[in-house]
Structures are given as structure tokens and as C-alpha cells.
Structure 1
Amino acid sequence: MYPPPPYTNDDSVKERLAKITKATNSVFIHIRRGDYCKLSWCLEMDYYQKAVRYIQERVENPTFFVFGATDNDFIHKLDLGVNFENLGESHITADNQHHDMFLMSACKYGIIANSTYSWWGAYLGRQKDIVIAPSSWIPVEGSYQIIPKEWIKIESTKNPHIIPPMQPKDNPHKKPPYSPKRFFKNLRYLARYDIKEMYHNQRNYQFSPQIAENFAAMLRDEIKNDWDIITPPKIKNEFETLQELIDTQKSFIRFGDGEYMIMNGEDIGFQKYNENLARNLQEIIVSNDENLLIGIGNLWFSVPDKNFRAGSYKYTWALGEYANITRYLTKGKIYGSTNVSQVYAAYKEYDFERHFKMLRQIFENKKVVLVCGDRVLKNIQYNLFESYEIEMIFGPTRDAYNALDELKTECLKKSKDCILIFALGPAGKALAYEMFKKGYRVLDLGHAIKDYDAYKRNIPMTNEEMVKFFAPD
């Protein structure tokens, strides 16, 4: 017989454990909030309400105990369709973080969140007669596989922002055979990098263990290491992306660092974090609509060469967020290049003339409606849309998401024969997607207006000019 865990001697734990023990059919409900709210991973209430009904239909006189939600206002407004008692810690600390897990493990039934904390609460301790889990987990490839077969899975119909689980056939874990030929090919591939130059580029950046792990993942992606199940994303280059937009009627929405920061719960220079906006962006980036081309950074997945103006950028944001970038990708999907809107800002040597000619060809002989910030054109000397039939819809340069409804109303007044072009930051992408679903062709071209102007003016893209280029207008 092992001695009881020391935390059962805590008076608060003893009192709560007594309530669980007294109940004939105790059911824990774990609601994960906190960091999940920022990441837009919180489950909607319909999941919990369905789970509660499932228990009620099969268990006589169940007693429900809620854990995990430390926000009193949230608890007060919580509608589960049943009476419940909140037994969770009011404030989670390093000293008490195991208490709730212990108490959940003592219940007879469990309704878990998409969280390994309550997963362990259900798995450990008392054998549970029924455990209910969400069928969609968090947007990490393969995470759905942790749910035991005997647990009941319930879907939340209000969770478009949670990436649907990949099917087993799309996520093979069998590693392909590795050959000496591939090994030496990879060595030769890596030999083209100047390690001293790479160190020089990141010398002022703190190289943490996480950064080192991300860097290793990037290299594995780039050389397609056969020992690893990671597959690098398929991304068209800038010219291939433009050609597809010329040859088809596809719409185009780009994702850059700002969009990932919003999805990660952070503010950016011209848009404060908004939970609904984060959900909108997460829904867009995982869209599999064949008429929508999603753009991501084709420079994020390889070590930068000397032609890339902002090589050190790869050792700051892109490398630090590598795991966050890759978790939203769909295996086998072909993406466009986000960089079509900022080639002059990105490259030292490039066929800029050909690029901008192709870009303008997309909307040649078309009616164009430009939806942009009210200061985007303020200092522009060379207008990308000069000589084209164009109408303007102006939104606020900062926090444009607050004006989304008004902007949508204005866009809906326009004929579907026109092309809606957006240069309105993350909010513009959310609006573009709404209009795309209404049947409009939308092109999210972002910095292309400033990029074309900088090229025509032959502005030297020094560090100072780069900061100005990407700063809010």
C-alpha cells in the first residue's frame, strides 16, 4: 500500500474531494481557457452542452463539477444546460496546479477539453465508465491520435478555427528507406551555405534551445531528410504564382508574419489582437477551396542566401516562430508566394520589370475596386494602378477590423464583374474572404503599391528604408 499523495492533506482539496466522493455519479467538466483564448483554441459551449446531454441520457442523477475556468464572470454566465458546482482552483500556481488533475481523476465520469491536462485527469486514477472528448483537437498534426478508442468523441459545430484532424492515411509515420546516395546529396546541398555568414547574420540574436530546434526542423524540411516524417510545403515562386493568377480566375489571400502574430494572440503595429479576427484568419489559412490560392512565405523554409535583403529576419521572427508557421499547413497542398507583393523589398537582384508587368496583367482590362487604408496612397509617386479603371473604398489605416461591417456593406455595392483588390492588413484578408464567399474575385496584394513605387523611384533598401517600408502608413 502506497501512502496517499501529500496534496490530499490540503484542507481545500479534502473538502472538494469529499463532495466528489459523496456524489453517486460524479462527472468532471474541464474547460481550458487562459492561453487557449489567445490562441482561439477554446471549445464552444455547444460541445459541452452535447456532452452533458449525452451523460444525462445514460447516467442516473449525475452531479457535475467544473474545473479549469478561473474567471468568475465566465463561470457566472456559463450555460451548460444543467446545474453544476465549480470545484476548480480559483488561481493556478506552480504549487497547486496538480490539485485539479487529482480531483478530476477521482470522478466516475469525465468531459475533457482539447487539453492534455484533462486528458490525464480522465486517464489516471479511478476507472471512468464514460469519458467524452472533442473530435477536433488542437491544430498540431497528429494530435487527434491521442484519444483512446473507447472514449466518446463529440464534434463542435462552431469550431471552424480548429483545424480538422488529418486522416491516418494522410499522415504516414512509416519512414521511407534512406540511401547513401541521399545522404551525400544532402551533405552537398548543405555545403553551399556559409556557416560563418549565417553566424554573422544572427550574432545579435539570442539562440535559444527552441530556436535551435526550429533551425534543425527548417534544415530537415529544406533537404527533405528521409529520416524525418516532416514534408516541406509546396510553394510556387513569385513568377509561378503570378502566372497562375493570370491563367485562372482564382482569388488570392496572403499570410505574413503579421497574420501569424494575430493568430498567436499578439498585437501588431496597425491592428490590435482581436479574437474574432484570429478565428477568421485560422479559417482562411486552412481553407481547401480550389478557387482560393493561399500565399505563404516561400523564404521561410530555407536558409536565406545573399540575395535576400533581410537575411537576419530569418533568425528573428521566422525562425523563432517556425513551429507555429508549420502547424497551420496542410500536407500536399500547393501554396502561392506571399512575396509577390514585396519583391523589391525582398530581393537585391530580381527581374522586377517582368514581375510588375505580370502583376498588372492580372487586372488588365478589368474593373478594379481597391480597398485600402486611408493613408496608403499618401506618399505614392508611381501608382501601380495608373491608367486602369479603378474605384476606391477607404478604411482606417489602423485597427481596420473595427470597421469590417461598414466596409463589407460598401464592397457589396460593387458588381461581381470587378476585381476587389485589398491592401488593408489582416483585416483586409478577413474582408476579402467574406467577399470571396459571396462570389467576388479577390486579390490581397498588400505592400505591392509601396513596393512598385519604391522600385520606380529606385529607393535604396537600407535597414532604415526597410523599417519605413513595413511601418504603418
Structure 2
Amino acid sequence: MSLKKFFSNLNLLRKIELKRLNNIESRNKVLLDNMYIDIIDQLMYELPKGNVKRPLIKDYNQTVDTLISSDKSIARFGDGEIKIISGESIEFQEYDAYLATRLKSILENKNDRVMVGINYDYYYPDIQLLLPTVACFYRINSPKLRKNMNPYLNWNSQYYSAAFTQLYMFYQNMDFDTYFEKLRQIWNKKDVLIVACKELVNTIKYNIFDNANKTDYFFAPNKNAFSKYDEIYKGIKNYSNKTLVILMLGPTAKVLADDLSKDGYRALDLGHLMKDYDWYKKGMNRDFEGINNYMSMDK
């Protein structure tokens, strides 16, 4: 759609909506105005030369390259972590003030041992590469998510892609076989400890970590894992720091990656990766219902 047509449609929509809402309370008119502000804001980010402020973020391929070539840990921030920072609870984790404080601190990106991942598509969206349902989600939600995350970013620092762990359920027209094989280089022939909830692991048929030298599991609660943080942390510390720690515990994984890195461990917050690979190998549905089911599964 051309910019001229976009603004023409936008103006027509605004006239129709304002006429329909002419007699309702002023509060709703303010909400409508904010909606159009968000639409314009999102459009500016979708324009390659839009005059907007963007943090430095490596894309998903550059992020994986860095993970292969370095021994750094990674902590990834998505909409769930942003909600916690903003004082909200999410499905798998109740709001916790200390957790929110730790997440804000990690997002400032001051630990040289940890790569901090944020969503590349919040700031450099390529709508043509995203699945239509995902593109719709980003267009609706990205303005608010950016506003809530921006105050805590270190604008002089390098960030990485947070979504590299779930490309199958986000992107289209990709060579997923090649991409997943590239990812598997990170833990190839290494001793691995997977920290996740048992409910997730029990659903997996195709294990992306099957090329590791040795794989152990440490099971944690599928909800409110942060309430058991000390217990989880001590359990991980029973393993050698030569073990690669794979974390799949929502917001709790970010704090674990930060703390473990300071103790000489390499800890990778890989979130949805295990189920993303499994769903790809199974050829699972990626329409609206499929993506909704995917996002509702344990992390």
C-alpha cells in the first residue's frame, strides 16, 4: 500500500469513527486519538528512513553468529518481561517488585558477560517477512511496548534479537532447516543442563538438543518460578560451570542468566526454542489458532 493511499484510508476511517462517536463521552474520544497516534508512530518505524529513535540491535542471524563465536550468556526480553517491568502480572508469572527491579537492571545492558536480547521487530519491522497474524500483533502492540521499554534501554549499547528462538512461529518464507542446524552449533558435543518445567519437556517429540554430548534436566515450576528462585539457583550450582546451562523459565531465566554469568557459567535464555523446533518438525499449524495455542504453552 502506498503512503498516499494509507493516509487517505486513515483519514476516511477517522471521519467515520469520529462521526459515529460524536455523542459518546470525551474519554473515549481521547482513547481514539491515542489510537491514531499509535498508528502514525508504528508507520514511522515501518519506514526504513522514518525519523525515529532506534536502539542498536543485531538481527537474528547476527545474534546466532555471536552466540556461536563467543562464550557469552544471553537474556531475552519480550512482551512478558515488559509487562512485569510495567507492574503487570502475566500468565506464567505474578508481578513481583524485586523481579521487576532486576529486569530493569539487566535491560540496561551493563553486564559484559551477557548479551541482552530485545525484539528486533519492535524497532526494525519488516512486515513482509512476518506471518500475517504476527504482523497484526506487532502493529497493534509495538507502540505501547516500545514506550514501556525505552526508558530502561542503554542507547549507547549493543542489543541482540530476542526472537531468534521462535522464528518458525513468527516468520515466513525461510529455510528453517538451515537455520536450526546453524543454531545447533552452539551446544554441539557439549554437556548441557536444561532448566525448564516438566510439562514443556514432556510435550517434545523432536529434541533440538539431541546433538549435545550429554543432556541433564533440572525441572522448575511452570508458574511463578521466581518464587523458587533460590532453590533453582542452588540446584544449577550443583553442576560444573563447564556445563552449558539452557534456561526456559520466562522472566526468571533473565535473572538466572545474569547471576550465573557472574559465577562463571554460560547461561542461555532460549525461551520457546525447544517447542519452536518441535512444532516445525511436526509441521504444526501457523494460523491464528495455531499461534494462540503455541503462545499459551509452557515456556
> In the alignment, which of 426, 429, 452 is matched to residue 251 of structure 2?
426
Code of the aligned partner of 1:237: D
Letter of the structure 2 residue corresponding to residue 341 of structure 1: T
- Whether the 8 Å CA contact 1:269–1:472 is kept in 2: the answer is no
> Is residue 19 of structure 2 the alignment partner of residue 195 of structure 1?
no
Given that 1:236 and 1:337 are in contact with CA atoms closer than 8 Å, whether structure 2 keeps it comes out as yes
Aligned with 1:345: secondary structure?
A: coil
Partner SS, residue 393 of structure 1: strand
Which structure has the larger Rg over C-alpha atoms?
1
Q: Residue 109 of structure 2 contacts residue 154 of structure 2 at CA under 8 Å; is this kept in 1?
A: no
In the TM superposition, 1:389-408 aligns within 5 A as: 389-408=214-233
Contact 2:109 2:157 in 1 (8 A): no
Could you say which residue in structure 2 is the equivalent of 1:308? 130
Taking only the aligned residue pairs, the percentage that are identical comes to 30
1:217–1:403: structure 2 CA closer, same or farther, 3 Å change rule?
Answer: same
Cα deviation, residue 303, structure 1: 4.9
Deviation at 1:375, TM superposition (A): 0.9
Task: Name the Cα RMSD after superposition.
Answer: 2.5
Counterpart of 1:349 in structure 2 is 173
- Secondary structure of the corresponding residue to residue 100 of structure 2: helix
- The answer for the alignment partner of 1:59 in structure 2 is none
Asked if residue 442 in structure 1 is aligned to residue 267 in structure 2, the reply is: yes
Alpha-carbon contact 1:210-1:320 (below 8 Å) kept: no
Calculate the TM-score normalised by the size of structure 1. 0.55
The reply on whether 1:460 has 2:292 as its aligned counterpart is no
Q: Which residue of 2 aligns with 1:151?
A: none
CA distance in 2, matches of 1:338, 1:192: 30
**Compared CA separation, residues 194 and 342, structure 1 to 2 (3 A):** farther
Distance across 1 between alignment mates of 2:135 and 2:275: 21
Hey, which of these two has a bigger chunk of helix by percent?
2
* TM-score using structure 2 length: 0.85
Of 51, 62, 75, the match for 1:240? 62
| 1:372 and 2:188 correspond | no
SS in 2 for 1:293: strand
Write the distance in 2 (CA, Å) between the matches of 1:208 and 1:423: 38
- Quote how far apart the aligned CAs of 1:451 are: 0.3
Which residue does the alignment assign to 2:119? Answer: 297
State the match for 1:409 in structure 2. 234
Shift of 1:468: 1.0
1:385 and 2:209 aligned: yes
Between 1 and 2, higher relative CO (CA 8 Å, sep ≥ 6) is seen in 2
Q: Determine if contact 1:251/1:293 at 8 Å carries over to the other structure.
A: yes
Q: Residue 192 and residue 252 in structure 1: after superposition, are their counterparts in 2 closer, same or farther (change >3 A)?
A: farther
Equivalent residue number for residue 294 of structure 2: 469
Q: How many Å apart are 1:193 and its aligned residue?
A: 9.9
Deviations 1:231-290 (A, max 9, x none): 311211111110011011111110000000000011111111111110111111102223
Question: Quick one: distance in 2 between partners of 1:306 and 1:344?
Answer: 15
